[in-house]
Structure formats: structure tokens, C-alpha cells
Structure 1
Amino acid sequence: MTANKKSSKLKEPVRVRTKKLADGSESYYLDIYVNGKRSYEFLKMYHLPEVNARVREQNRATREAVEAIKSQRIIEITNSKAGIKSKSAWQKLTLADWLEKFYAIQERKGIKRVEKLGSIIKIINQYGKSTRMGDIDKKWVLGFIDWIQHTYTGRHGKPLEQGTVVSYISQLSIALNAAVRAEWLDENPFMLLSASERVKKPESKRQFLTIEEVKLLIATECRNKTVKQAYLFSCYCGLRLSDMETLCWKDIICNDGRYMIATVQQKTSTPIYTPLSQNAVKWLPERKPDNNDETLVFAELPSRPTTNKILKQWVEKAGIDKKITYHTSRHTFGTMMMTVGADLYTTCKLMGHADVRTTQIYAKIVDSKKIEAVDMVDRMFEREEATD
């Protein structure tokens, strides 16, 4: 007697699924599972509530279209596994369509600062909405770089600053790298550019307060106690405003009288462990009896525009002639660490930088201040020699 063999049914790599929406309709998307990896393609096609015969017929036609797209995707996957690369699909896909797809993927993953990608979509729609993936080569990239540098104007009708151009080009290059991984593009032409063809990032200019100016602020009354506490606290530990806004009492740890911050940076999603000096601890608000571990440390901090407005008034009152925003406190901390002799690696870790090259900016600032100090001595002796 032969044993019954279980019939194995080959699973389709693409399945049609729907997501219910608030208005009662359902959004169609494809669930694609290939080589152990799952991805989703939202089709922007909908199954509507069948209130009458006309809607039922429309739903039937939509479903047929969805099934046709599904069949096409299965053919593309089969051809790819067989080593047959289909050119027609990516030749028809526009760059604008790919950016929309990539934007949706990043948004679902919860990637921060996805709004920059949204800006790139608007820019590409203006430069060449009909540009197809098959059109993107080195010549196209060089043309786009020239256009965004010399022709495109931002919201205020002015050319973009160099740093903004670099940021936008970086975002577009990231999207094209993703297109290569998704096999919508053979290669990213930005990777083919020579050093002379690339847009250079401008030298970063960091505004910061000197130790004497920090002392001036300490001695000057601020109309908002929490803003003063938060800003000076950041001057002594380097936390960004985004991290201050989410800092909870559970993030501040005390062991044997030594305080430390253990939290995750909002900007980079990387954990940081920063020991706090006594000067930093001094500017922490008093913890109230009803505050639990989840209570925000600087819960009474105003909105960002209000905070920066108060800072501006406070700085002017202290007689400091500098354009100050909250982020200046972070630059002040970095410069202060280098000034008092902390090495580059230690300062890098204290600030939570992923790359020590970012921290080197503060070393350059300190070096320039040393040169200024030496030059001041030279000028002083020159004046004395002139009077002799």
C-alpha cells in the first residue's frame, strides 16, 4: 500500500490584498514575496461600497485591472528568476512615479525627515514630470544639477543655497539607489560623477557662545524660566531641542551621585549615554512629587518659534550681538569641550555624532580662535613698538 503524498500547491509570489479605508472603500495593493523578502505595491485603485449597479460594474472593471497588474508582476518576477531582464517595465515607469512609491515605502517604515523627499518630488515634477527611468543617465544627472543650481528658484523666487542643493541631490541619489535595489534602474548615475562634477557641500559655519557669553546669559534674567533652564542645560550637555522636547525623567539616571542621560536621539535614532556635569544638573527643573518616570523633564517648554523668540530677547538683553537659535547651545557645548581640552573622539561620542568628521568642525573653530588670540598678541606688541 503506497502512502498518500500531500499535494504541494505552488504559492503565487504576488497576491492581491485590500486595506479598509475610513470612508468604507477598500484600497487595493499587491503583497509581493520573492526570495524571502516581502514588499508591497499600492495601486491607488479602490473597491467602492456597492450602492448600485453602476458601482458594481465599476468595481468589476477595477478588479480586472488589478488582476492584470498582478499577472504582469508575476511575469516580471518569473523572467527575472530565469535571467530574462525586462526593459519595458522600467522604461515605462516615470521617475516621478518611482519617487512616489519610494516616499510611501519610507513613510510606512517611519523614516524621519521624509518631507525632504516630498520636496524632491515637487522639484522633479517641475524639471521633467515625464522623465522615465530609462532616460536617467549621467547626461540627465548633469543637466539636473545645472538646472537646480542655476535655474530653479525656491518658494521666495530666489536661487537655492548651496547646502540646500546638496541636500536635495543627496535625497534624489538615495531614491535612485533604492530603485537600483528594486531593479527599476540598472545603475545610479550619481555614482558615475567625478569629483569635479559633484556638488560640493559648503563649509559649515557654526554659531556658538563663548564661555564668557554663557556666563553673561546666566547672570541675565530671562522672561521664561523654563527656556533659560533648558537652553543652559543644553549648553552643558549638547542635547538637540528635539531631544529636550522628549526627555523624560526615566532618561536621567543617578548612580552614586553621578548623573547621566541615557536616551535615543530623535534625529538619528541612535542611543546616547552622556554623563552630566554639575553645571548641567544645576539647570534641571525640580522634579515634582507627582512626576512619574514618563513625565517630561521640560514639560513647560514653549513651542519652538516661541522658544527662539524668547531666546533672541534674552540674548539682546545680555548685550550679546549674535544671531542665536536653540541649536546654538549644541554648538556651544561642542566648542566648549574642545576649548577645555577634550579630545576629538571623546567629543564625538558626547555629542552622539556617527562620524568624527562632523566633530572636526568644532576643532577647526577652536584652532581659528587660537590663531585670533596669537594675532591679538602680535597687534598689541606692534602698538607698543609704534609708541616707542
Structure 2
Amino acid sequence: RHSYVRYLTTRKHIFNFLKFKYDLEDIPLRSLTMKFMTDFTFYFFTVLRLKVSAYNDYLILLHKMTRLALKKHILKRDPFAGHKIEKVPVNHRHLNREQFEKLLNAKLPTYRLCHTRDLFVFSVFTGIGRADLANLTEDNIVTKEDGSKWIHIARQKTKAECHVKLLDIPLRIIEKYKGEGEDGRLFYVPQTCNLCRSLKIIAEQCGLGCHLTFYQKRHSFACLALANGVSMEIIARMLGHSDIRTTKIYAKVIDKSIAEQIGGLAAKFGSQK
């Protein structure tokens, strides 16, 4: 659904740009040129006054559409071949020990906020994304010979196998919300927009001093694991990354002071939850 909305928004921007630049409502695909892409980019920057990070996604989707036209032999050449999307440095935010401790121990006033907090905490300890969390069922919980329980899933986004050991806190969260999901799913997971609204309130009530998003829990999980000596290869498998270069991004945000702050975090919080 999110991808569908992005494509609709891209179509709207293309339509508005054609009216603004050429006073047209549509043009043939074969009329696309590199100058079109340059002018389209300039339109985002000057007329709409968007930042690079805000309009890059629309340019990427336009690239995808022309490549699809090439595959279907609608176009004979890629009109944007050689065009480079401007890269923007990304700040991969994560919670430090103090922030996570506040979040974990906060006495929140409503069930909705507690539920959102627990889903976030579960994802911090497992690295599982929202879509995979929403589809998690009892069949994904595997008990090993030593009695430990593991999550075995293929990530929805990359189809990569993902194996994660369940520690005490995520096991208790599963037990707490067992049966709330539909069609055998372990959890009821709200839409991303609703999660974000709840997380904004939670961040304010906990005094975290940051903009809290649901995706941030994957960054926090990776940083937590790296700081506690888990190898890059294992983290990549737990996160379901198909390319270890994606995992290496998280290593860049870890320094000695962070590692010292969150060392032994899982053991400490196991007795507090």
C-alpha cells in the first residue's frame, strides 16, 4: 500500500510539472530526454522548494518506470541512462542506553501507548520490521533442542532468511499479547502512521529528546548487537540483509563511548521488565 501511494504521488508531480513547464497533461514516453529529468529536478528544488532527500524518491520511481518500459520494449533506449541520483548523507538514529531505559520502564497512561511501546521494544530485541512483525505466527517460533526459542522467517522485503533468538523480554511480550492478532498472528500491529503518532506521544512523555520512529528500532537493535560483540555476519542474518554492506552502515554509528554505555544491556533489562 505504501509503494502504491508513492507511485500515485510521483504521477501527481509529473502531471503538475508537465502543466507548469509545457502546458501539457501528458507526453509520449519516447519524448523523455535527459533534459526532462534535469528540468524535473530543478522544478522540485525551485518551485516546490523540496530538499534532495524529499524528492529523490520520485526521481527513483521515474527511473524504474522507464526501465520497465525498456523491458517491455515500449522504449528502445533508456532516456535517463547515465543520470545520477544525488546521494544524501543519512543519519541512522538509534536510542542510547539512557533513552532505551526510560522507554522500557515508563508508566504510560493508556493501553494503546503501552501496546505500541511493547511492539517497539520487541523489535529492538529482535530487529524485525513492521511488516514481518504483523505477519508473525506461532509457526515462525521454533524451539531448539536446548529449549531456546527462535524466530524463523523470510523477510517480506528481501525474502532473505532471518533467524533470531528470543530473549526473556520478547518472550514475555509474546505471552502478554497472545491471541490479539487475526488469523493466527501473534500481534495486532497498527498501520505505520498510527504507530508513529503513538511513538511521538511516547517520546514526549518519556522525555527522550528525539523524534522516535518505528524504523529506529532496527538501528537500535543493530547498534546494541554490535556494541555487545555480535559479528557483522550474524547481525546481517538476523536482520535479513541480503548484502552485508547494508549492515556495515550501522557499524559507522558505533563508537567506543556508545559501546561502553550499552554493554550488557539485555542482561540488565531482563531483571527490570
**TM-score bin, normalised by smaller chain:** 0.7 to 0.9
**Structure 2: which 5+ residue stretches go unaligned?**
19-24, 262-273
Which residues of 2 match residues 186-335 of structure 1 at below 5 A?
Answer: 186-193=76-83, 198-222=84-108, 223-224=110-111, 225-256=114-145, 257-286=147-176, 294-299=183-188, 301-302=189-190, 304-335=192-223
What whole-Å deviation, never above 9, does each CA across 1:137-164 have from its counterpart, x for those lacking one? 223332223223333x2xxxxx223123
Larger radius of gyration: 1
2:155/2:162 contact within 8 Å kept: yes
2:223/2:254 contact within 8 Å kept: yes
Aligned-partner residue type, residue 90 of structure 2? S
Structure of greater relative contact order (alpha carbons < 8 Å, 6+ residues apart): 2
Structure 1 residues 309, 293: closer, same or farther in 2, change over 3 A? closer
Structure 1 residue 144 and structure 2 residue 40: aligned? yes
- Flag as ranges the 4+ runs of structure 1 deviating above 4 A: 290-294, 301-306, 368-371
Aligned-partner residue type, residue 29 of structure 2? M
Q: With structure 2 as the length reference, what TM-score do the two structures score?
A: 0.78
Aligned-partner residue type, residue 228 of structure 1? R
1:136/1:189 contact within 8 Å kept: yes
Range 174-183 or range 220-229, more displaced: 220-229
CA distance in 2, matches of 1:279, 1:285: 10
1:156 maps to what in 2?
none
Aligned-partner residue type, residue 247 of structure 2? T
Task: Give the secondary-structure state (helix, strand or coil) at the position aligned to 2:11.
Answer: helix
Q: Which structure has greater strand proportion?
A: 1
2:161/2:237 contact within 8 Å kept: no
2:227/2:258 contact within 8 Å kept: no
1:96 maps to what in 2?
none
What whole-Å deviation, never above 9, does each CA across 1:173-232 have from its counterpart, x for those lacking one? 111111112222121132223xxxx23221112221113322222222223243332221
Number of residue equivalences? 251
What whole-Å deviation, never above 9, does each CA across 1:272-322 have from its counterpart, x for those lacking one? 23232334323323476x7999522123x5554444344333333333211
1:250/1:294 contact within 8 Å kept: no
CA distance in 2, matches of 1:122, 1:292: 36
Structure 1 residues 136, 361: closer, same or farther in 2, change over 3 A? same
Aligned-partner residue type, residue 205 of structure 2? K
Aligned-partner residue type, residue 330 of structure 1? R
1:340 maps to what in 2?
228
The percent of aligned pairs where both chains have the same amino acid is: 20
Task: Give the secondary-structure state (helix, strand or coil) at the position aligned to 2:241.
Answer: coil
Structure 1 residues 294, 133: closer, same or farther in 2, change over 3 A? closer
1:226/1:298 contact within 8 Å kept: no
